Chain A
């Protein structure tokens, strides 16, 4: 099972990380590694684009929570792009819509 992770630097000062595929306990460690890598590179304004995600479980949520915590500890931030009801619902159920800034497009995220 492949997890697509594409970094777009064209929206400076934001770094857009587009995630594609299924994020679960098997693939989420790759997402965690990528977020840690971005922080270590000094990329502290991160937009994670979840529009290409087909499936997101609690491990994936946990990785995003950890990424937000890590970025905030470096005075950075992590925003999300998510419009798919099946993915957004997972944030709603867990109350994490109140923790993350969730936008309906990358344009909206970088404008915010």
Chain B
């Protein structure tokens, strides 16, 4: 896959909006994706960035969060990398069913279930510094005249 965009943002919550805006704008320029799929990607990227910022805040607050966008003919892939020391999504406990009154005691923990639903594929890859969340959306590239060169390292 070819990297078309790299963005590093300080690990602070006020910067997440710009990360999701940049990625969703790049996706809409580069790929033949319906508007609701772009909205799905925007939310998934935001959730991944939120988790990354919180991981860094807890472990390495001066380290940035890195967002990279890759593409090939079939797929757009977004990698969100933290330096928070690692995370095992398999250790997450499920919420009670929505019909259970205890459900109201769970205000957090919705982000990863949302990510899993919103994109076509998600991987959680450990690195020596933290975790990279890889979000994939399938679908072809946009028409050539709609593409914009985003190859510069932002």
- Interface residues in chain A, defined as those with a beta carbon under 8 Å from any beta carbon in chain B: 1, 22, 24-26, 55, 57-59, 61-63, 65-66, 68-69, 72, 85-86, 89-90, 93-96, 98-99
A26, B17: Cβ atoms closer than 8 Å: yes
Q: Does B128 contact A (CB under 8 A)?
A: no
The residue that A99 contacts in the complex, of B104, B114, B118, with Cβ under 8 A, is: B104
CB distance from B42 to the nearest CB of A (A): 7
A58, B114: Cβ atoms closer than 8 Å: yes
Q: Does B103 contact A (CB under 8 A)?
A: yes
Given contacts A85-B36, A93-B114, contact A98 B50 (CB under 8 A): no
Q: How large is the interface on B (under 10, 10 to 19, 20 to 34, 35 or more residues)?
A: 20 to 34
Q: Does B13 contact A (CB under 8 A)?
A: yes
CB distance from B8 to the nearest CB of A (A): 18
Total residue contacts A-B, CB cutoff 8 A: 70
CB distance from A53 to the nearest CB of B (A): 12
The residue that B13 contacts in the complex, of A25, A58, A85, with Cβ under 8 A, is: A25
By a CB distance below 8 angstroms, the chain B residues around A69 are 104-105
CB distance from B153 to the nearest CB of A (A): 25
A22, B17: Cβ atoms closer than 8 Å: yes
A94, B110: Cβ atoms closer than 8 Å: yes
Of B43, B103, B117, the most chain A CB neighbours within 10 A belong to B43
User: Roughly how many angstroms separate A61 CA and B54 CA in the complex, as a whole number?
Assistant: 17
The residue that A62 contacts in the complex, of B20, B97, B108, B113, with Cβ under 8 A, is: B108
CB distance from B82 to the nearest CB of A (A): 14
CB distance from B65 to the nearest CB of A (A): 13
Residue on A with the closest CB to B38? Answer: A86
Q: Does B78 contact A (CB under 8 A)?
A: no
Given contacts A63-B107, A99-B103, contact A58 B47 (CB under 8 A): yes
By a CB distance below 8 angstroms, the chain B residues around A24 are 13, 16-17, 46, 50
Residue on A with the closest CB to B15? Answer: A26
The residue that A93 contacts in the complex, of B16, B42, B118, with Cβ under 8 A, is: B118
CB interface residues, B 108-147, toward A, < 8 Å: 108, 110-111, 113-114, 117-118
Residue on B with the closest CB to A62? Answer: B107
